Structure 1
Amino acid sequence: MTNLNHRLVDVATGQLGVLSREQAHGIGMTDAQLRSRVQSGFLAKSLPNAFRLAGAPPTPLSRLRELLLDVGGDSCASGPTAAALHGFDGYRLREPFDLTVGRGRHVNRIGHRIHTTTDLQPIDRCEVSGIPTMRAARTVIDLARTEAVDCLTAAMDSGLRDGRFTEGSLHRRIVALRRSGRTGVRRLLHTIEGREAIVGAHSWLEREFLRLLSGAGLPRPEPQRVLTRAGDRLVRVDFFFPGTTVVVEVLGYTWHRDKAHLRRDTERLNALVFAGLTPYQYTYEAIVDRPATVVGELRRVLGVVR
Structure 2
Amino acid sequence: MPREPHTPSGLAFLPFSGSQAVAAGLVTWRMLRGPSWRRLLPDIYVHVDGYRENDHRMWCDAVALTLPTGAAISGLSAAFLWGVDLLPRASPVVVTLPGAARRRSTQRVSVNQRSLSAQEITRFTGLPVTTGVRTAFDLGRQLPRTDSLVAVDALLHRRVVKLPALGSYLDTHNGWPGTTQLREVLTLAEPLSESPMETRLRLVLHDAGLPPLTAQHDVHGAHAQRGRIFLGRVDLAYPRWRIAIEYEGDHHRERTHFQRDVARLNALRAAGWLVLRFTADDVLRHPARIVRLVTDAIHERHDPVR
- How far off its partner does 1:89 sit? 6.6
Indicate the larger mover: 59-68 or 38-47.
38-47
What is the CA–CA distance in structure 2 between the aligned matches of 1:174 and 1:22, rounded to whole Å? Answer: 42
* Distance change in 2, residues 1:154/1:40 (3 Å): closer
Matched, 1:99 2:95: yes
Aligned identity (percent) is 18
- Which position in structure 2 is the counterpart of 1:81? 77
What is the CA–CA distance in structure 1 between the aligned matches of 2:136 and 2:57, rounded to whole Å? Answer: 21
Matched, 1:9 2:3: no
| C-alpha contact 1:61 1:93 (8 A) present in aligned 2 | no
- How far off its partner does 1:21 sit? 4.2
Q: What is the SS of the residue equivalent to 2:122?
A: strand
What is the CA–CA distance in structure 1 between the aligned matches of 2:142 and 2:11, rounded to whole Å? Answer: 35
* Distance change in 2, residues 1:90/1:37 (3 Å): closer
| C-alpha contact 2:14 2:61 (8 A) present in aligned 1 | no
- How far off its partner does 1:154 sit? 1.9
What is the CA–CA distance in structure 1 between the aligned matches of 2:46 and 2:159, rounded to whole Å? Answer: 34
What is the CA–CA distance in structure 2 between the aligned matches of 1:137 and 1:86, rounded to whole Å? Answer: 11
- Which position in structure 2 is the counterpart of 1:117? 114
Give the 5 Å matches for 1:127-146.
127-146=123-142
Matched, 1:65 2:87: no
| Higher gyration radius (CA) | 1
- Name the Cα RMSD after superposition: 3.3
1:174-229: per-residue Cα shift (whole Å, max 9, x none)? Answer: 23333xx432222201222355997599xxxxxxxxxxxxxxxxxxxxxxxxxxxx
- Which position in structure 2 is the counterpart of 1:253? none
Give the 5 Å matches for 1:14-25.
16-21=13-18, 23-24=20-21
| C-alpha contact 1:149 1:191 (8 A) present in aligned 2 | yes
Q: What is the SS of the residue equivalent to 2:96?
A: strand
Q: What is the SS of the residue equivalent to 1:17?
A: coil
Q: What is the SS of the residue equivalent to 1:55?
A: helix
Matched, 1:27 2:24: yes
- How far off its partner does 1:117 sit? 0.8
What is the CA–CA distance in structure 2 between the aligned matches of 1:171 and 1:163, rounded to whole Å? Answer: 15
Select 1:52's aligned residue among 46, 52, 55.
46
| C-alpha contact 2:71 2:98 (8 A) present in aligned 1 | yes
What is the CA–CA distance in structure 2 between the aligned matches of 1:22 and 1:173, rounded to whole Å? Answer: 41
Q: Which amino acid aligns with 1:153?
A: L
- How far off its partner does 1:83 sit? 2.1
- How far off its partner does 1:41 sit? 4.0
| C-alpha contact 1:49 1:69 (8 A) present in aligned 2 | no
Give the 5 Å matches for 1:134-283.
134-178=130-174, 181-195=175-189
Q: Which amino acid aligns with 1:70?
A: T
What is the CA–CA distance in structure 2 between the aligned matches of 1:57 and 1:129, rounded to whole Å? Answer: 19
What is the CA–CA distance in structure 2 between the aligned matches of 1:25 and 1:185, rounded to whole Å? Answer: 47
1:260-299: per-residue Cα shift (whole Å, max 9, x none)? Answer: xxxxxxxxxxxxxxxxxxxxxxxxxxxxxxxxxxxxxxxx
- How far off its partner does 1:115 sit? 0.8
| C-alpha contact 1:77 1:99 (8 A) present in aligned 2 | yes
* Distance change in 2, residues 1:165/1:38 (3 Å): same
- How far off its partner does 1:162 sit? 1.7
* Distance change in 2, residues 1:86/1:21 (3 Å): same
Which runs of 5 or more structure 2 residues have no equivalent in the other structure? 191-205, 215-306
1:87-108: per-residue Cα shift (whole Å, max 9, x none)? Answer: 3374467422211111111112
| C-alpha contact 1:17 1:62 (8 A) present in aligned 2 | yes
Select 1:43's aligned residue among 37, 40, 51.
37
What is the CA–CA distance in structure 1 between the aligned matches of 2:90 and 2:48, rounded to whole Å? Answer: 22
- How far off its partner does 1:50 sit? 0.7
TM-score (normalizing by structure 2): 0.52
Q: Which amino acid aligns with 1:9?
A: P
Q: Which amino acid aligns with 2:136?
A: V
Q: What is the SS of the residue equivalent to 1:46?
A: strand
What is the CA–CA distance in structure 1 between the aligned matches of 2:78 and 2:130, rounded to whole Å? Answer: 6
What is the CA–CA distance in structure 1 between the aligned matches of 2:31 and 2:173, rounded to whole Å? Answer: 46
* Distance change in 2, residues 1:161/1:23 (3 Å): same
What is the CA–CA distance in structure 2 between the aligned matches of 1:74 and 1:23, rounded to whole Å? Answer: 21
Q: What is the SS of the residue equivalent to 2:84?
A: coil
